[in-house]
Structure 1
Amino acid sequence: MGVFFVYYSITSATPEERATLWQNITKANPLYLLLSISFGILSHLSRAYRWKFLLRPLGYRVKFTNSFMAIMAGYLANLGIPRSGEVLRGASVSTYENIPFQKVFGTIISERVADLIMLLLVIGVALLLQFESLFYFFEEYNINPIWSIFILILLVLIGFGVLKFILRSTSAKLDKLRTFIKGILEGMVSIFKMKKFFAFIFHTFFIWVMYIAMFWIIQYAVPGTKNLDFSVILVAFIVGSFAITVTNGGVGIFPVVIGAVLLFFEVPQQDGEAFGWLVWGTQTVLNIVLGGLSLLFLPILNKTS
């Protein structure tokens, strides 16, 4: 799918447009790219430290290096199979810290709930700043956010219904599944047992400020986007977040989506797509390098004699 979108974006452009796109990418100011990478690293370090707060109420003190490397290995895995990184991340810490996988995975779910709340908060701010533009954008592309919210709520209710049925069932065939689910729930409720709750909140906000910062700073690397209003950048950030979430790391589709959103705000497509390629490219290279090193060093640093 990603290869198709890359092929489509290249072949649908004229030779002049492709030359402009390539020029925008190759002549981007490296200072802003390095700043974006730095913000990305800070967000990953903060996430690794925040995770320790969730595992501590369960009685486990995880090494910061293991927490960080497990997260980066997970990001690398997400480039291949969407959401597989959460499983690899949980399995890595479970293996090297000797913690039941279901408990580790429960804390990851709690983390994702906190991140979802932050994303909804960012969406709310963007709606306040760009309500009229977003309304016309949804109308032009026949997007109905109300239906999306309704479907999400319905899926959550169905999920709770299935969990309730399994936990209340007395069938012996479901014993292992019940035990597994109870372990996940124990990991999830650890968020309410943290002694450093406000530190967790601080890191949550810090992570998302860094996410936005690593996206925003790239606008100064492309001449056609450096004068964009922050509210426009925020809208592009939200759409890009969804593109990364529903695909394997946003490969191929992320630059196309960002280009389409910025085009709606009268930014030339080649400038918008160059912006998207630079954001996606810098963070993907970061995840490949740190993720690859993490997969290499996790077993080495945790080797037992």
Structure 2
Amino acid sequence: MKTFEFRHATSVDDAVTAGTAPGTKFLAGGTNLLDLMKGGVEQPESLIDLRRLGLTTIAPTAEGGVFIEAGVSNSAVANHPLIRTQYPVLSHAILSGATTQLRNMATAGGNLLQRTRCPYFMQTTFSSCNKRDPGSGCAARHGFHREHAVFGASADCVAIHPSDMAVALAILDAVVHVQGPDGRRTIPIEGFFALPGDTPEVDNTLGTGELVLGIELPPSRFADHSWYLKVRDRHSYAFALVSVAAGLHVTDGVIDSAALALGAVAAMPWRLREAEAVLVGRAPGDEAFHAAARLAMNGAEPLAQNAFKVDLGRHSVVRALTRAAAVRIDDEDQP
């Protein structure tokens, strides 16, 4: 590991000021960053520790939603009563990821900022990775790409974003609050992540020195009918091959609001607007769910090894919607 400077931020303003220096990284839980540093993928000149800033509160908002500060652990988010009752899909998603020990360390802000687990990015022995070394090429395109993107990829990168939490946040229309050198601003979750295009080294739309302060969840209509489905090679401690966050609001036996997003298919949570629209005005059931599934994978551009994700994605949408329609927040099988 490369030698680096280390200090504790004394305030948010102090962290933001320090974060504008070249080669500076913020440290919260460190569950991803430290692994990348040990492997030589990340080589910061300086680490600014955020853990003394106290951004560890989950609280209701005046609008009836919830605000999750960036330093709250993933475990605390998943197990908080407000999240479990009002936003159970978020609890499902977080509890499906990593191990208890990692969830105890990882933070809400850091979860959004984790980097891809593409093996060509994670291992410096591979020389071709545009995300790690811009201009070097994308070894995954002609190498191992079974787990890679089928939406939103480019000639320069086919990596996916690994977060489970972010997929649930997408259907909840979360808003990310950040502070940078020019003050505070908010970023809708759909505008937070960046597709690779010709700048695959850029993962998100944060500016230099901008610090994630927290995640705001507006009031949700999906407390009674939502689910997060994660399909993976093994049940424990594995990243998704395909995941689905599904939310339904049903009135008098008819769906009047729906939200769907896929994970592990793109460099960002992939919202399924067409599939959502076809659900509205229909009774929840196989006919409606299969109609949504037929639209879910429109525009997919799979590679040779991951074409199975197209069919898997359709089946997973049906399964997630079926589960969401059946579940209620008082179900005993809630995580």
Q: What's the TM-score once normalised by structure 1's chain length?
A: 0.29
Q: Which has the higher contact order (CA 8 A, sep 6+)?
A: 1
Quick check: which one's helix share is greater? Answer: 1
Q: What's the TM-score once normalised by structure 2's chain length?
A: 0.27
Quick check: which one's strand share is greater? Answer: 2
